[in-house]
Amino acid sequence: MTTSLELTGLTALPAQTWGAIRLVPLVRDEPIADLRLDARLYGDGPAAVALDRRTAYYAYVPHGFVATWTADGTPAAAYGTRLRHGDERRGDERRDGPPPCVPLRFHRRMARREDRGRLRFLPLHLALEGYLALHFGGPAVVWEEWSHRAVSQGLSPRVEQAYTGAEVAGLGDALRVFEIHPGQCGVLLYAADALAAAFVVPHPDDYRALHPSLLHDLYGELVYHYATLHGPVPDFRARIADGAVSTLAGLRAEAARQRAEWADFHTTALAGGLLEGDYEVQRVYRMGPFALSRFLPPFHRRTEQHIGETINHDDGRLAYLKTFRLSEHQVRRGHLLTRLAAADWNLEAAAALLGVTPAQLALRVEAAGFGALLRQDVLDHYRAEARRGR
């Protein structure tokens, strides 16, 4: 199922800039109250999930969050965003027990940070590998060229490069001086006016709890380079034409128009690359009125491409969104994998689809870092063929 992304129920307010970073706040008129961040993630922070015992609500756990999920109290990282029943007594154990997670062994220093019980993302490499592995299951048809490991384990493990927010120049300061709006439920993060990440949560309290965690989040190399190399981005300053105003009420109307124009401009121009894309959406599961999906971009090369996860309400409101902008390298690899998947992982068919010989395709697969997926003898055979051809 392919579809575009919509920020239903959210309004973009004027951006706040700091250096090359532009942060666009998204506010909801009415928060979504029956989907909340898992209470265990609030740690010792403000106890925000204070709901009537009788109301049913659902909880979500963003991908890569570290908390004490397991019974023995060791820290672990959530693998993939989860939906669960907020009330422990409801729902079945299998689905609502601890979410599938990756156990973590921390060094002494990290373990101490753990003690503070604060929100944080998973160590960088694990999170991104997990992310892409979630999206690509590996060969679905066992053609003989694929190695045993590729078939049994999919594309995991693989290495992707990304930067933590702390390494992105100016991001820490930009997040620190950002003034969170009342009712704010999300943010779009731009580095040098390239959309780096979109982040939406159902409730303002969740957003306030998660706002600093954007610094521990991952960003692609493009974001890192843009933030480092680009100078400060200009503010979109309000402008009121002199002639248009003769009364105070007129002045007020002009001011209101500025705000509306900005929201419109933002959705169409600034966030266009994210919102107008054609996404391959895979519904993971649903719970009550909420459905969790993961989406993949069409992997068009040399354009803005995002992967991410969403939770949608039945009435179309967007409850949760988290995206990661792929670098050009990652887009190329994604392109290769989608082509392979489109040809049912048949090397020859895929090569025909791309207009190259199977040998060239095999070498391309290897150059893209997927050499281990092909059986060694098959790869050697194609290498020899390429040498002979040369």
Partner 1 sequence: METLADLVAAEDVLLFVNAAITSTGQREFHSDAGEQRMSLDFLHSYMLGNYRELYAATLALNVNDHNAALIVRRLLETAKEATPEQRTAEGRLIARRLAALPPPRVYRLFRGLRRAGVNNRRTRAIVRDWLAARPDPAFDAVKYRGAVKSAARHAHLRLDGELGPFLFEPVGRRSEGFSAPLLEAWRRAHYERSAVYDLPYTVAEGFAAKHGIDRAVFLERIAPRLTRLERLRLQGAARAAGADSVRADLATMPLTRLATYVLSLPLGERVARRAELTAALRAAARRAAGARAGSWGRVAAVLDDSFSSFGSTRKRRRPLAVALGCHFLLEALAEEFTPLWLSGGRDPLLRYPYGATPLGERILDALEHRPDRLLIVSDGWDNAPPGLAGEVLRVWRTRLDPGHRTGAVHLNPVYDAEGFDVRRLAPGVPTAGVRDAEDLPTLVEFARFAEGRTGLAELRAHLDARVRHFLDRPGPDEPPPEGP
Interface residue list for partner 1 (CB under 8 A)? 13-14, 16-17, 25, 177, 179-182, 235-240, 242, 245-248, 251-252, 254-255, 258-259, 262
Closest distance of CB 245 from partner 1, Å: 5
In the complex with partner 1, the residue whose CB is nearer, 15 or 319, is 15
Task: Decide: 122 and 129 in contact? Cβ < 8 Å.
Answer: no
Say what the alpha-carbon torsion angle 378, 380, 382, 384 is, to the nearest 10 degrees: -150
Say if residues 349 and 357 touch (Cβ distance below 8 Å).
Answer: no
Supply the minimum distance, in Å, between the C-beta of residue 225 and partner 1. 24
Structure tokens at 83: 């939906």
Q: Are 84 and 96 in contact (CB under 8 A)?
A: yes
> Nearer Cβ to partner 1, position 103 or 232?
232
Cα of 88 vs its chain's centroid, Å: 28
Rounding to the nearest 10 degrees, give the CA dihedral for residues 200, 206, 210, 211. 70
Smaller CB separation from partner 1, 1 or 248: 248
The minimum distance between CB 57 and partner 1, in angstroms, equals 25
Contact (CB, 8 A) for 219 and 160: no
Alpha helices per DSSP H over the chain: 39-42, 93-96, 108-115, 124-135, 148-153, 171-177, 204-210, 221-229, 248-265, 272-275, 328-342, 347-354, 358-365, 376-389
Residue 181 or 329: the one with the smaller Cβ distance to partner 1 is 181
- Could you tell me the smallest distance in angstroms from the CB atom of residue 342 to partner 1? 45
Question: In terms of CB distance, is 15 or 201 closer to partner 1?
Answer: 15
* Least gap, CB of 325 to partner 1 (angstroms): 25
Q: In terms of DSSP bridges, do strands 58-61 and 35-37 run parallel, antiparallel, or are they unpaired?
A: parallel
Residue 13 CB, shortest distance to partner 1, in Å, is: 6
Q: Give the shortest CB-16-to-partner 1 separation in angstroms.
A: 5
Which residue, 174 or 347, is less far from partner 1 as judged by CB? Answer: 174
Nearest CB to partner 1, comparing residues 102 and 180: 180
